[in-house]
Structures are given as C-alpha cells and as structure tokens.
Structure 1
Amino acid sequence: MSKVAPPPLDPKSLQAIPGPRTGSGSGTAAVRRPRLRALDGLRLVAALMVVLFHWVGVNRYPTVWGGTPEKLMPVLHAFSAYGFLGVQLFFLISGFVICMSCWGRTPRQYFTSRVVRLFPAYWVAILLTGLVVNYAATARPTRGHLTLGDFLSNMTMLQQPLGVAEVDPVYWTLWVELRFYLIFAFVVALGLTYRRVLVFCGIWMVLSVVVPGTDMKMLELFVMPEYAPYFIGGVIMYLIYRFGANWLLLASVGFTFLVAQHQLVGTGNSFKYGVMHAISWEVMVVVCLIAYAVVLAAAMGAFDRIQWKWLTTAGALTYPVYLLHQEIGFALIRWFRNLGMGAWPTLGAVLTALLVLSWLVHRYAERPLSALMRRMLDAPGLALPKSDPPVRSRAATTERPAVPAEGASTR
C-alpha cells in the first residue's frame, strides 16, 4: 500500500507572524501572536496516523509481519485502518502554512523556501531507501529492483509524471504538493492580499467541482479535485488567523468541507484494496470533520497557549519520518520479527528506530544541506535580470582579419 503519506511542511514557516488585522488586506497595524506550535503537534499526529496505516492498517503484505496485522493487533488495526486520513489533515495544514510562509515574499523567495525545504532530506532518503530496496531483504515480494535511471529520475521529484518507478511509493504525495505550490505561485507573483487569495480560493473551488465532468484532463491534473478542498480550506483558515473570523470566511471553510465529504467516497474506495475489508464512510467523515475543527480552532487562537518547545522538534522530524517510514520500516519489521520478537515489541522498536534515524537525517543532512542550498539560491548571480541584456551585433562577434594601418609594413 503506498498511496498515503504526509506532505512536507517547513517548521520555520510556523514562526510568530503578524496576527489578525481588521479590514481586507491593508488595514491597521498588525499585532504579533505566538508561534503556532500546535500545528507542529498536529503534524506529528498526522504523521503517526500515516505510519500506523502503512504498518498496521494494511493487510495486503503479510510477509511484513509474518501474518496480517488485523489478526496480530486487531484493536490497533481497527483504528489504523483509517490512518490514511492523516493525509487530509496534512493537506489542511499545508494550505494554512504555505499561505502563511509566503505572505509578503517575492516569487524568488517563495521558490527558494520550497526548494530548500523539499529536496535535501528527499535526496538523502532516496539514497537510504534505495540501498534497502536493492540490497537488503525486502519485506514485500512485489517490490522490484531499481535501476540507476530510476534513481536519477527520482532526484527530480517528477518521477510520477515521467512514468518512472518511485524509490518509495509514498512519494506520490510530493507530486500533489508540487502542483499546489505551482498554482499558488501565480497568486504569489501577483502579490498576496485578502481579496486576491479569497478570489483564488473561490475560482479553484469551482473548478475542482466542474472540471471532472469535462474532458479537460490537463486542467484536471492541476485542479486536483480529490485534494483541492483541503488545500483551499487551509488557505482560508489562514485568512481567519491573519484577519479575523467573519461569516464569509467561516462559510467558505464549511463549503470546502461539504465538498470534501463527497470526495471521501472515492478516497475510501482507493484504499480499500490495501486494508482488505470494508471502510466506513461515516467514520471517514467524522475523522475529516475533527481535522477541520482542530485546524480551525488553531486558526482562531484556541491553542495559542500551547508553547511546548519539544513540539517544534517533533514538527521538524515529520518530513524525514514521511520519507523513510515505508520501505525501511517494512524491512525493519521483518528483521525484528525474524529475530523472534512479538508484534508489539517489534512495533515499539521499529518506531523508535525510525524516529532516531529521522532525527539523524534532519540534524546532520537536512539542516546543513538546506543552509548550503539557500546560500546558493540567494546568490546575486542567480537573480533573474529585470531587463534583457544588450544584444551583441554580428559584427562584434564575427572574427575579422586584422587590417594593417596605412603605410605600415606587411612583412
């Protein structure tokens, strides 16, 4: 099972920012609010939901545990079977945080922030996961060998549209995130204001409902009907956080939820084959409603007093955990089980190992590589010129034989 994983978010973008302001974008001076550490905590919850879904909720790979998780851990499996909904929570938070992190930034700053956040840990994860997949005893017999071309194509993060096998199947969510970043870049280029963002959300919401009934496949690719309500809902919740709640914004959030609950029918069907039993639509709707309610509560300041510093570290580990948890986790589970460990001790040991590995990747790979890439991308020479450089004439670029001065000897 591969089609669930948390998208990446930048912990630095959760810093304290200008708080709610009156008006519609250019109103009174802003007041500062504390860092939204609660969102870091929510990201941790979403990450654990996804990890448990792949490890315990999926019954399709009995070779991982030496049996189905449903029989080995029936109670935990009953909850973990709905862990794929952690991705909906992540997309809500992503819409909120991306809007927050790029408010007031130039397109170049927006581009730099996304690149330095996405790629360093991703490249390290490709290397580590690829070594496990190709050279360790895999836990899934259907996992094929990866070629050098597969690795090189995966480095672009565009392996899905390129039609290349993914080093880890959970990386499909990165393509979803990249499309969101791309379409939101148009608003960043125009300059973020209350009205522009709200109009953008309205247009995107309408297209996400209308386009699937047409033959415009390219437009549907970027509109992303299945996931659009969550990104849009998160963006609108950030408007609530920045400018304060009003009936228009609250109604808009409610509308995105109404569309989202309809999309859950298809979402549940797409994950049923991995869980291998019926998935309740009612349970999915309740979980989705809770996700909406919690993020909206954070936007309205309900969790401003939660300032536990360890939540920041937890949020920073979320992306490495996402990148490393499936293939490496499967291999570790199988290894511990072959040593004779029980199901519950194995789960605890593998989760501990994953968190330690994620911290090492974050501390000794992601942070230094991100800093290096930021310095490179911020270099003056990489800035796009404001105007075209002067065109060199052919006469200036065509080599001509030297003509001796009048009266000079040619010998």
Structure 2
Amino acid sequence: MRTRGSGGEPQRLAVLDGIRVLAALAVLFYHYTVLASAWGRSTTDVFPVARRFAVYGWLGVEVFFLVSGFVICMSAWGRSVGDFAVSRVTRLFPAYWTAVVFTSLVLFAWPEVRSFAGYTDVLVNLSMLQGGLDVPDIDDAYWTLFVELKFYVLFAVVVMRGLTYRNCVLFCGVWTLAGAVAPTIDNAVLSFLAMPSSSPYFIAGMAFHLMRRFGPNAVLWAVVGVQFLLAQHHVTARMVSSLGQSAAEQTPFWPARAIVLIGFAVMAALALGTLDGIRWRWLRHAGAVTYPLYLIHMMVGLTVIHHFRDRVAPVPLALATTAGMLVVAWVIHRFVERPLGRRLGAGLRRGIEDIRAGTPPRPVLHRVPAQPLAPEAERIPTRGH
C-alpha cells in the first residue's frame, strides 16, 4: 500500500491500514456480539446495548472491497500479469493455508458450534476455489475470498491488455454495465463474474486510486457517484442476508446507508490527499495482522466463546477472545505469512522467468509505409467529377 511521493520515494498510505483495522474489528464485533450460535440464545439479552451497533458490523466486508479496489489498482501499476499474479498468490495463500488448517483442527477437537467438515472439504478449501465447486467453506468468512479472486481474474485481463488510465476507466464502465444488467439476464456466466452487490465497491476503489494518481475530474467523480448509488441499492439485500429477514425488519436501515456514505467519503479524502498527514507507525503493524485476523476469528472465536460461555461473563469473554485472536493473527503473520510468502514468491518468480525464457518472442510485424497521395492535378477523376 504505497504511492509515490513528491521526491519519487515510495510512501506508505497509513490511512489504508487504519481503514482495514476498523473494518476487521467491525466484522469481528458483529460475529461475536450478534450471532447467537456461540451463546446459545439471542444476543439481544447478552449484549443489549452493544448489539445495537454491532448489527452493522457486516459492512466491514464492503469496506474491505472498497480498499481492495484501490490497493489492487495501485499495486498492479507497472507490473506484468505474471508479477501481478505472484504478488496476489504470495499475499493471500500463506496465511490462508495456515488458517484453514488451524480452523479445521479446532473444529475437529471441539465440534461445538460446527462439526468437522471432512478431509476432502479441507483439501478443496486449501485451493480457495470451493466457492466455484459448491463445497462448503471451512469458515463462513471465507466467502469473501472467492469474490476477491474473481476480481483479481477480471483485473488481470486489464493488466494483460496494458494497465493504462484509459483501460482502467473502460474496465470500470464495462463492469458497471455488466453488474447492472446481470440480475435481469438469465446468463449464469455473466451473473457469476459481474458480482452486482460487490462490484460497486471494487470499481469505486479503482476510481479513487485513479484520482490520486492522475487527479480528480468529472469522469472519475461520475464513476464514483454511480457506484455509490448502486451500493446503496444493494444495502437492503445485504442487510437481510446478514441478519435474516425478521431481524432486518426490526433494524433501522439508515445507519447502514450512512456507513456506506462515510466509507466513500473517507476514500475520497484519501484520494484527494487530505489524510496524508496521518502517518502513525503503529498503523502499519496493526494493518499487517488484519488479514490473518479476518481468516481465523470467526469459527475459532465462536468455538472458544461457546466453550467458556458458562464459566466467564459475556463481556470479558468476548474481549479475551478478541485479544487471543489478535495474538494468534500476529503469530501467523510473523512466523508464517512473512517467511513463507518470501519463499513462495521467490519460487514463483523463478517459474515465471523459466516460462518467459522458454517462450519465443512474438514476431515483429513491419508495416509498409503508406504512399503519399499524388498531387491534386495528377489524381484520376472519378465518375461525376
């Protein structure tokens, strides 16, 4: 998450780390204080005050998608499609593999909230492709990873064609159109790739990065404005799918819409450079653990809460579980994600170089220069002239 400063040196955008931290904690807050599976009863009685705010924590996922659009567009600039693929694989999979194994072991040892899925499902989950194979996620939070993968594949097409200002804007327009028409067209492939409820956040994030890189203009603001309207359109359905029809009907919708507005406003401020003065060093370390925290917090955390719910008061138990998940996330980042990511990246880059070395270069087509037109007096007149 770096951008070029005025002196040409890369400058880390600490605000992006801060946004990711808030989004991750919001999702965790939602799972621990809203879901009844861990507590064995409605959390309205367990957290009568906190639950009123936590019911909107699922919007942290939407914020993640917004940040992802910005970061992917920024990090892919100037890279080949091979380099882009290596960066995504090394970023996603080391922590993910660890989380799948860790979560599976916990569910195998303590099948209290959910029983162990089976070894075949675990193996498929290690590929991160279970969403396309109709295989259950080991952890329900993993559904967002398949959405991210589809975004990476779509964006890789832009990288292959050449990551330019124009191509990014065209991609935003085409994807917007696909997301708008997909719900009304009986086409499984289009619906699969268009992702109407998620694409507005990815597209807006890309547009915000283009603003930061090239400066704001009416076209980019129009792109962001359309995505904001589409995001507001999908908020209702997302709230129902997250809380259930009955709970959603009893929960005010306007705070969810306000949170989406705030998310767009913060990203706009980031794009315009308003928040560049925030450079707290601790945000970098906090942001580094958000991904492993997201991967392990749900089923493992709910299992811990379920196991100790009769022995520890709800508030201390939720706080202790959160602290424990943060520690485990830091351990995964420090001792697995970083070293394994480096080794995996080095191996993949060697493989990419071997492929490039073994691929013959494309033949260069030499165009014959066009002959200059004859002077007006020497042109052969056509009929009627």
TM-score normalised according to structure 2 size: 0.89
**What corresponds to 1:387 in structure 2?**
360
**Cα distance in 2 for residues equivalent to 1:31 and 1:109:** 22
Question: What are the residue-to-residue correspondences of 1:306-385 with 2, within 5 Å?
Answer: 306-338=278-310, 340-379=311-350, 382-384=354-356, 385=358
**Secondary structure at the residue paired with 2:41?**
coil
Question: What are the residue-to-residue correspondences of 1:89-108 with 2, within 5 Å?
Answer: 89-108=63-82
Return closer, same or farther for 1:316/1:274 CA change in 2, 3 Å cut-off. farther
**Cα distance in 2 for residues equivalent to 1:219 and 1:132:** 38
Shift of 1:378: 1.1
For the Cα contact (< 8 Å) 1:49–1:84, is it kept in 2?
Answer: yes
**What corresponds to 1:407 in structure 2?**
none
For the Cα contact (< 8 Å) 2:125–2:138, is it kept in 1?
Answer: yes
Q: Are residues 1:197 and 2:159 paired?
A: no
Question: What are the residue-to-residue correspondences of 1:173-252 with 2, within 5 Å?
Answer: 173-252=144-223
Q: Which amino acid aligns with 1:262?
A: H
Shift of 1:359: 0.3
- Corresponding residue to 1:116 among 90, 98, 119: 90
Shift of 1:72: 1.4
Q: Which amino acid aligns with 2:19?
A: L
Where has structure 1 moved over 6 Å in runs of 4 or more?
none
Unaligned stretches of 5+ residues in structure 1: 1-13, 20-29, 389-411
**Secondary structure at the residue paired with 1:105?**
coil
**What corresponds to 1:7 in structure 2?**
none
Farther-moved stretch of structure 1 (268-277 vs 321-330): 268-277
**Cα distance in 2 for residues equivalent to 1:383 and 1:304:** 40
Q: Provide, for residues 192-245 of structure 1, a one-character-per-residue CA deviation record: whole Å limited to 9, x for no partner.
A: 111110111011111110122111111110011111100000000000110111
**Secondary structure at the residue paired with 2:327?**
helix
For the Cα contact (< 8 Å) 2:172–2:223, is it kept in 1?
Answer: no
Q: Which amino acid aligns with 1:316?
A: A
Return closer, same or farther for 1:70/1:275 CA change in 2, 3 Å cut-off. farther
Shift of 1:148: 1.3
Q: Provide, for residues 293-342 of structure 1, a one-character-per-residue CA deviation record: whole Å limited to 9, x for no partner.
A: 0111111111111111110111110110111001110111123323x221
- Corresponding residue to 2:4 among 17, 20, 29: 17
**What corresponds to 2:39 in structure 1?**
65
Q: Provide, for residues 249-289 of structure 1, a one-character-per-residue CA deviation record: whole Å limited to 9, x for no partner.
A: 11221111011111112112212229835333322111100
For the Cα contact (< 8 Å) 2:67–2:205, is it kept in 1?
Answer: yes
**Cα distance in 1 for residues equivalent to 2:141 and 2:20:** 17
**Cα distance in 2 for residues equivalent to 1:240 and 1:31:** 18
Q: Are residues 1:39 and 2:16 paired?
A: yes
**Cα distance in 2 for residues equivalent to 1:227 and 1:277:** 20
Query: Cα RMSD over matched residues?
Result: 1.7
Identity %: 40
Q: Which amino acid aligns with 2:100?
A: I
Shift of 1:17: 2.6
For the Cα contact (< 8 Å) 2:3–2:74, is it kept in 1?
Answer: no
**Cα distance in 1 for residues equivalent to 2:282 and 2:267:** 19
Unaligned stretches of 5+ residues in structure 2: 362-385
**Secondary structure at the residue paired with 1:16?**
strand
**What corresponds to 1:53 in structure 2?**
30
Aligned residue pairs, count: 358
**Secondary structure at the residue paired with 2:58?**
helix
Shift of 1:32: 5.4
**What corresponds to 1:24 in structure 2?**
none
